[in-house]
Structures are given as C-alpha cells and as structure tokens.
Chains A and B, each alone.
Chain A
Amino acid sequence: MSSARRLGTIVAHELRLARHDPVSIMVLLVFPVITIAFLKPAFRPALVEGGFTHANGAEHVVPGQAVMSAFFIVSLVTFSFFSEHGWATWDRLRASRATSFEIIAGKSLPRIAIGIAQLGVLLIAGVVLFGLHIRGNGFALVPLIVTFSVCLVLLGVAVTALCRTAQEAGAFAYLGMVLFGAIGGAFVPFDLLPAWARAIAPLTPTYWAMRGMRSVVLDGQGLGGVGLPCAALAGMGIVFAFVARRRLRFDETKSGWA
C-alpha cells in the first residue's frame, strides 16, 4: 500500500471525526460572526482617526476576529492527538502500518484545510454581511491565509509534544489565543497597543497575520504587502516543526479526553 493511500485513509478518517464535532464549527464560524456584529461599530472611530476615513470598522474587526478564532485550530490539533489517548486508540494507530509522518500529516492536513476554509469564509462573510471593503488585491490574502493556517497547525503539534495532559494542552491553546490575540493586534488595532506590547508583538503569529491583512485590506497593497508576513509565519512554522520533531515521542503516555 502506498504511503499516499494510507495518508488519504487517515485524512478521510479525521474529517469523519470532525463531522461529529459541531462545536468546532460554532467556535470557528458562528461566534466570530456574532462578535463582529457587536464590535464593528466600536472600531470605526479608531480607524477614521487613524486616517482611514472610508472605514466602517469591519476593516479591523473582521480580520481581527477571523485571526483570533483561527487560533482555535491549535486546540483542534491537540485534541486530535489527545483524544486518541482518551479513546485508547493511540497504541492501535502506532501498531498499524502507518508511519509517524503519516499519522502527523494525516491529522494536520484536515486542520490546515479547516483553517483555510474558516478564514476564507469569515472574510467573505465580512464582505457580504458587514460591508468589509478590501482596498488591495484580495487574492493576495490567499498565501497569507495558507501560511498562517500551516503555522497554527504546526504550533498545535508542538503544543501536543510539550504537554502531557489534555488539560495542559487546552490551557496552553486558550492562553495562546487570548495573549497572542491581544498582543498581536487582533483585539485592538496595533497602533493602540501599549509600547511594551508593540515591542514584543512580532514574536506572535497573530501580529504577522494581522499585518498582512492590514496591508491588503486597509493599505491597498497586493502580494508585495504579504511577502514579509508570509516569510515570518513560515519561519515560525519551521521553529514549531523543529520543537515538535525534537519533543514529540510516540511512546509517551499522555492523559487524554474522549
């Protein structure tokens, strides 16, 4: 059996499992839409004061909430590993013909696809429902979205490698979402952050995702505006992959949920 076919079997299986988890769809899509509806008016003054007189608030809130909620992908990735321990299926998977790479890739690819779909759907919903006006080339957001999704999934694998229990992983993913969201400028525009937060913001994936979004949505740039953010996100992804490679032990006993 080819590795590709086995990988396909795992991907299809992961998607089947994801279908049984409607809460994820709520968190990824429904909650941000509700939040956007509430927060959009509040951010218009800040954008106008920043020189974007045409803005209606959606230009910050839609990308911000999309990026914030996309962080939930980290939880989805950790859950996909820890639930195997909760269901006691991890050893079965390890005892199968699937290689470590196939198992990790089989769990990661569907989450990358979910991340891309989630960000895409929210941006389109922003245009259709909330009057989001993208000044630059909207297609320039595609590589940014892909790179950001890959980066988050690799972060999820790294978190899985570093944590022994599902609770640790859940707490880490939640803290990451809130802290990175706040520091990275997804909650409030980067310009309004305190100086200390602006100083460390480039250490977060959220900052680079928001910077790329802002370049295209508000500053009207194209691919040139997302080049550096994509490179930074790719670099972070490599670091997360390195951590995962060094720390992920398949024979480690983890305490999972089911």
Chain B
Amino acid sequence: MAQLRRQARVPSQPPATTTTPTPPPALDVRGVRKSYGATVALDGVDLVVEPGTIVGLLGRNGAGKTSLVSVVAGLLRPDAGRVLVDGVDIAHEPRRARALIGLAPQDTGVYLPLSVRDNLRFFGGLSDLHGRERATRIEEVGAALMLDELMDRRARDLSGGERRRLHTAIAVLHRPRLVLLDEPTTGADVQTRRELLRLVTNLSREGSAVVYSTHYLQEIEELGAGVALIDHGRIVARGALDELIRQYGSSALELSFTGAVPPAANVAGSRVTGTTVRIATDDPAATAALVLGGLGAGASSLCSMEIVRPTLESVFTTLTGQRLSREVEPAA
C-alpha cells in the first residue's frame, strides 16, 4: 500500500524545470526492524504518512505500536531500516528531525511539582519558542485543550484527565510537522477524550500529520482517519477506513453457548473459539434462520446471538484472526 501511495506521486511526464518538486511525506518509514533479544517487535515495517492526514495505528497490546512510535521519535534505534521525517533522516540528523516531531508518549509525562504554565514554558523553550511567541502559543494550546483556567495550578493537583490534556499540549506546542500520539486517551474521561479528538482533527486541518496509536477502534472511526493495522510487528493493512472495510470487512453471525458449541452450529465458514462460534456470511439473517432451525435441542444452551456488520473490528478480525474489542473496552 505504501508503495502504491508513493507511486501515485510520481509525475506522469518527465519533470520540466518549472515543475514544483513534490514535498516529501511527513513520515516515511522503510523496512524498520527492531528486536529485544529473541523477541521481534518490528518486523520490516513500511509506513508513509502524508502532511495533513491522520493515521490510526491500530493493534493489540504488544503488536509493536509503541516500538514503532519510539523508533520514529528517535527514542529507539532500529536494527534495520530508515525513518525520514519530512525528508530528514532521523538516524543522520536526529536534532533536525526531532524539531519536526511532537511526541506524547503512552505514559503521562509532566513535571508534577510545576504549574501547567511552567511545564509548557519549559518544553516550549526546548522547542525554540521564547518570549511573546511562546506566551501566545501557550494561550492558544491551553484554550484548545481547556487548560486556560488551570495555568497556575500545579500538575500534581490536576485530575488524571487534565494531566492527560497537559501531556498532549506539550506535544503540539511547537506546531510540529509530525505529531505522534501513543494511546492518547488511555484512562481519559469523556470530556478529555472529546477535546483530544477535536485537537487531532484541527492539527490535521492545519497541515500536521498525526500518527494516532490506539486500540480503540471507535476513535479511529470518529476521526475518519486512515488506518494502519499492525500485528506481530508488521503492518498488515494500510488504507482509508472505507477502503479497508470494503476490502476486508465481512459480515458474520456470532453465537455463544453455555457449554460446548453444538455440532449443528459448526457449519461452513464457522470458527469455534471456546463456547462461541463465529460464522462468516454475506447474509447473516438467512444464516441465523438456517442455524437456529438446525440446532434443535441444542438451542437450549444458546445464550446470545449477534449479527456482526462489516466494521473496522471485522477488518481487524479478518486480518489478524483476533477480536480487538475483547482485549479492551472502548473508552468512556
């Protein structure tokens, strides 16, 4: 997919001297590998993210999301491959590349003894923001994330959601070309989640590229983001949400029983996991009628039946053989 996107940018005619050169992608990851001892975290990852777009990096815990974010941010050195941020190789020009990145790591990282304003001032200062420009930017970001009335409060005295907003504000303070948000809504309340999603949308409108690592499918759908599905350290699918659902999404009928799945429910296209059977089908209603009719006495052990429509969840299941929503409940 990444290669197709690259090819799409190649001009159809030989470039003339007046042709404006194609701007580089905000992020261009090629063949990145990273292992921790015998454990392979990233197994040849390719990923291209264009300016002004949001890519939801979706995967289960341990799939490689945080490793990939860390490699892109320059926190981890890959064993192989290269990472270009806005055309700058992070391995060769780390400081120049870092200046283009805004990182909000998975764990909320703020200086607890300092006020919200002092936290923002410090990281603003490290990002070459000073004086009036920094003060203005702090006010803008504070307002965008509803921190404006908390500026003089110590981070220690903030609620979890307020800290999370400060954590994200630090990442976007210097208007980075590439924003890396690693599980940004983990533990966030409803309001914080809403504000963060709004911020991400606005960032992309302003031209920043956003890599939004999460395992909350619902957030990706709400953002209308492009999707990169990562599993066992590989990008297994990359594309627009609708495109992926059309390509990989499938309807299914899922039946759960109090005991073993009756043989009558084990029809063509079914997959049994414990006491649940999932039947892939283009016509779930007809399949339900067929299976229920065939259950006979086995119907007494049926405890639930669900028609699964094509969603990102079903795409994930099709590609990885696992359900993401079983691992984690959606954010509040």
- Residue A87 CB within 8 A of the other chain: yes
- Residue A245 CB within 8 A of the other chain: no
As a 0/1 sequence over residues 86 to 97 of chain A, the CB contacts with chain B under 8 angstroms (1 = contact) are 011111111111
- Shortest distance from the beta carbon of A156 to any chain B beta carbon, whole Å: 20
Taking a contact as CB atoms closer than 8 A, the residue among A10, A13, A92 that contacts B109 in the complex is A92
* Complex alpha-carbon distance, A43 and B225, angstroms: 75
- Shortest distance from the beta carbon of A107 to any chain B beta carbon, whole Å: 13
- Shortest distance from the beta carbon of A76 to any chain B beta carbon, whole Å: 14
As a 0/1 sequence over residues 59 to 103 of chain B, the CB contacts with chain A under 8 angstroms (1 = contact) are 000000000001001111100000000000000000100110101
Closest to A94 in B: B75
- Residue B125 CB within 8 A of the other chain: yes
Most buried by A among B73, B77, B109, B112: B109
- Residue A35 CB within 8 A of the other chain: no
* Complex alpha-carbon distance, A230 and B130, angstroms: 40
Residues of B within 8 A of A95 (CB): 73-75, 98, 101, 103, 105
Q: How large is the interface on B (under 10, 10 to 19, 20 to 34, 35 or more residues)?
A: 20 to 34
- Shortest distance from the beta carbon of B98 to any chain A beta carbon, whole Å: 6
- Residue A113 CB within 8 A of the other chain: no
Q: Is the CB of B125 within 8 A of A87?
A: no
Q: Is the CB of B105 within 8 A of A98?
A: no
> Is chain B's binding surface mostly helix, strand, loop or mixed?
loop
- Residue B195 CB within 8 A of the other chain: no
Residues of B within 8 A of A1 (CB): 128
Q: Is the CB of A16 within 8 A of B128?
A: no
Closest to B74 in A: A95
Enumerate B145-171 residues with CB–CB distance to A below 8 Å.
170
- Residue B281 CB within 8 A of the other chain: no
Q: A96-B127, A97-B127 are in contact. Are A91 and B109 (CB under 8 A)?
A: yes
- Shortest distance from the beta carbon of A125 to any chain B beta carbon, whole Å: 28
Q: Is the CB of A92 within 8 A of B170?
A: yes
Count of A-B contacts judged by CB separation below 8 Å: 69
* Complex alpha-carbon distance, A90 and B110, angstroms: 10
Q: Is the CB of A9 within 8 A of B111?
A: no
* Complex alpha-carbon distance, A21 and B130, angstroms: 26
- Residue B114 CB within 8 A of the other chain: yes
Q: Is the CB of A88 within 8 A of B109?
A: yes
Closest to B73 in A: A95
- Residue B293 CB within 8 A of the other chain: no
- Residue B126 CB within 8 A of the other chain: yes
Taking a contact as CB atoms closer than 8 A, the residue among B103, B114, B118 that contacts A92 in the complex is B103
As a 0/1 sequence over residues 106 to 140 of chain B, the CB contacts with chain A under 8 angstroms (1 = contact) are 01111111100010001101111010000000000
Residues of A within 8 A of B75 (CB): 91, 94-95, 251
Residues of B within 8 A of A13 (CB): 122, 125
Q: Is the CB of B128 within 8 A of A89?
A: no
Residues of A within 8 A of B122 (CB): 9, 13, 16
As a 0/1 sequence over residues 32 to 65 of chain A, the CB contacts with chain B under 8 angstroms (1 = contact) are 0000000000000000000000000000000000
* Complex alpha-carbon distance, A10 and B126, angstroms: 8
Enumerate A240-258 residues with CB–CB distance to B below 8 Å.
251, 258
Residues of B within 8 A of A251 (CB): 75-77
Q: Is the CB of B126 within 8 A of A6?
A: yes
* Complex alpha-carbon distance, A94 and B74, angstroms: 8
* Complex alpha-carbon distance, A94 and B70, angstroms: 11
- Shortest distance from the beta carbon of B7 to any chain A beta carbon, whole Å: 32
Q: Is the CB of B118 within 8 A of A16?
A: yes
- Residue A199 CB within 8 A of the other chain: no
Closest to A10 in B: B126
Enumerate B184-206 residues with CB–CB distance to A below 8 Å.
none
Q: Is the CB of A91 within 8 A of B103?
A: yes
Residues of A within 8 A of B73 (CB): 91, 95
* Complex alpha-carbon distance, A198 and B127, angstroms: 52
- Residue A99 CB within 8 A of the other chain: yes
* Complex alpha-carbon distance, A91 and B112, angstroms: 16
Closest to A92 in B: B109
- Shortest distance from the beta carbon of B94 to any chain A beta carbon, whole Å: 9
Residues of A within 8 A of B108 (CB): 88
Most buried by B among A16, A17, A95, A96: A95
Residues of B within 8 A of A92 (CB): 103, 105, 109, 123, 170
Closest to A91 in B: B105
Closest to A250 in B: B75
* Complex alpha-carbon distance, A65 and B265, angstroms: 82
Q: Is the CB of A20 within 8 A of B113?
A: yes
The 7 closest A-B pairs by CB, nearest first: A88-B109, A9-B125, A88-B107, A20-B113, A1-B128, A96-B126, A89-B109
**5 A-B pairs with C-beta separation under 8 A:** A13-B125, A17-B111, A89-B109, A94-B75, A97-B127
Residues of chain A whose beta carbon lies under 8 Å from any beta carbon of chain B: 1, 5-6, 9-10, 12-13, 16-17, 20-21, 87-99, 251, 258
